[in-house]
Structure 1
């Protein structure tokens, strides 16, 4: 929610290309009247598809999120939507997942740490073989204008330590907390904490 009371979210499908969209709900001027929906962006495939999870709203009014599919390698993306004049929003793909050691198919939003660094989970890929059960990652912003964001895999899940993280991380006192949907001693998921 922004300072004007607008709500932001994503749809898995729909939009101009039926590959998902980012929308805004504006509150009514009179109580009891309907909210007004605006589609801010429709995904088309190369820019991502099937957006998942909660959006992150930063101080500039930009939105950060993930798509479960699409992108240059069709394994999902991390994206940024920035507002422009005239209520036009522009999308920038910050990272394209490969589905390999860097992870793939993120299914939850990202959080922001110091210096604009983003943290998140991807539900597949990683080096935690033989099952390759997903990763926890960070993305560092470019050091020069127009440069690329840099991904670091903080942890790869392999099964006993968890499998398929589908959660949005929680940061507290320098630690990252999250859950996996499977894996662990009983095969039914884990709660984990990552330390530096």
Structure 2
């Protein structure tokens, strides 16, 4: 958006639903204010700055923007590349997070060596016999939740989850994302599995 604005190109920006969870005033003087904003994704902070200025009866624009946290990742835990380069290889490894650090999914399935080879070729697997216990409960509850949300959106009603029948074909076919591991416990990537046992590779790491 700012690149278009600098080029003098007007772009239609339709409204979108966002949530501003908090706005904290850090500094104020005659010409500028410094705010810390906690918001949901999709928030145009530059537009927020303009809107705040309008409510104050004046004009304003963003002069600086620094993202300090995304999900569980905080700038307090970050290190500058220049500082990282000052350390040896072993010390650099200490600063690196696991490759799956950004995957906020607990449910996981361990694949055999043969299954690993097949998913890396993009093949689907039948893992119905391995879909048991907590993993099956996780897939079932997430499928029911998605169906419930879809029903609420269509009928504008609440509390439909109790009426969902787990035996219905739709829920058995609805894919739910899970983590995939090999027999050594290494993270392979993400797969989508349904209650009917069909596992579809989604995003995999090539080792």
Bin the TM-score by the shorter chain: under 0.3
- Identify which of structures 1 and 2 has the higher relative contact order when contacts are C-alpha pairs closer than 8 Å and 6+ apart: 2
More strand as a share of residues: 1
More helix as a share of residues: 2
Please tell me whether Structure 1 or Structure 2 has the larger radius of gyration of its CA atoms: 2
Output the TM-score relative to the length of structure 1: 0.24
